[in-house]
A and B are shown apart, each in its own frame.
Chain A
């Protein structure tokens, strides 16, 4: 287990320069995510065009894993339908928590950079917080906590 498996270049880059790190003032959906263990707090904003995610963004504060994961999330679900985004959520959940399931990491694109998190159980919640928050936003819940 090398630290470089956790902090891959993609992760470091997205932490230093998070994409879509902004508020969407007229968002159709938004939800707050909170990880009380480490104090990570983020808000996910979603703009919908029918059932398609026409814009998605986040803001807040958190560790490198949670910020990079949220940044990667916004890139990967941008333009997707709600059903497609939920499919990705399910794949990411398996990628982060299940070592008995073969995930085709290449199909996940840049999100595959988070596969190393599985080896660091204390950090899995950091990576999954934004996905749970997006899920809550899409289901019109206001808040989610990973504890």
Chain B
């Protein structure tokens, strides 16, 4: 891919106009107005390169993987495993044996709960999460607790939306079997300083899972440098397809874990007397995988790398700074989550205008944002709010779109305030 020559200007910054032309959906209109898509934390959009990679695969090379000796099966296998290698390089895993394809972050976390936790956790054991987790990093652990008798511990957050490190450290106990933390909060955008948390956990020999769904699309993630044990993320939040995601796991842990689903692909030999499981990563990939999804994810990684994760992070931070400045001028607007380190996510409320009404009114102005509890009801409960409005930016967003958001908020206030 030679897109890097097109999409990065001489100054080294991203050329957002050129980038926007890569995203077909950004050309569409909503209710007669250009679309301002500011709901990227829920799901990002796809560049043509991703759509084309998947179409090309289906039109030319589709067959089942790891099975046939015919040409198409070999091509499909090469493309699928090539995508795994792209993921490995992207997050700097030691080996592709540590890269498990799953449906998404949610499935990755459930896999760890059921395969790592369920066989060995018992009454008195503790799993430590934080108050700002997405439901996907709460409910699988609650289910595990019901199954094993383990206890879920919750590290509190501060008014600014940061995980209270001292309280977290105090909750680490000899009974803590696993720490499961968001890398970036989906509801508030807080970037959790995970190095510190991981170091504290590892000092006690406690393994750490990071929910990286909101981090991987927006910053350089290196699992070896993080020194975490599990890292989960989703394709659809990083310009890739829905239905594909990744569980990175430390090989020594994955080796010791039993399969969590049985079927084809995860076996070496099956008889009614004894079945021999396949090695990593296939042991955890029962059944025909989402081949096109993995190929699309690989294309998304190519695309993001052609822009450069550092440039993406810088562009999105500039949008966050601009959005904060502009939104602060809206009367009655209250920011929810004001941590100093944030991804490009702004959660807010407006006096006398319910977030749900904001969502409808903004949609009429062509501006798409998320309103509701953001699958993080404990966070809403912490702030005593039923819901917030959340604008979340990607590198293809512009200042003009933020201006449209602000204008639409004024319209909403005039209409309902």
Contacts and interface: CB of A to CB of B under 8 A. Distances in A.
Interface in A57-100: 61-65, 67
A120 B356 CA distance: 12
Interface in B267-290: none
Interface in B369-384: 371-373, 380
Interface in A111-136: 120, 122-123, 126
A39 interface: yes
A12 B357 CA distance: 11
A44 interface: no
A55 interface: no
B339 interface: no
A8 to B, nearest CB: 11
A1 B31 CA distance: 9
A63 B364 contact: no
A47 interface: no
B416 A39 contact: no
Nearest to B380: A39
A101 interface: no
Nearest to A122: B360
A61 B386 contact: yes
Interface string B329-366: 00000000000000000000000111111001100100
B386 A41 contact: yes
A3 B387 CA distance: 22
A32 interface: no
Given A39-B386, A40-B386, A41-B386, A3 B372 contact: no
Nearest to A34: B386
Contacts of B69: none
A3 B361 contact: yes
B364 A65 contact: no
A131 to B, nearest CB: 18
B172 to A, nearest CB: 33
Contact of B357 (A36, A37, A64): A64
A40 B356 CA distance: 9
B29 to A, nearest CB: 15
Contacts of A15: 416
B372 A64 contact: no
A62 B364 contact: no
B415 A38 contact: no
Contacts of A40: 356, 386
B54 to A, nearest CB: 29
Nearest to B353: A64
A38 B386 contact: yes
A40 B372 CA distance: 10
User: Considering residues A12, A37, A64, which has the most beta carbons from chain B within 10 angstroms of its beta carbon?
Assistant: A64
B360 A38 contact: no
B357 A63 contact: yes
20 contacts: A3-B361, A3-B415, A6-B360, A12-B415, A16-B352, A38-B354, A38-B372, A38-B386, A40-B386, A41-B386, A61-B354, A62-B354, A62-B386, A63-B356, A63-B357, A64-B353, A64-B354, A122-B360, A123-B356, A123-B360
Interface of B: 31, 352-357, 360-361, 364, 371-373, 380, 385-387, 415-416
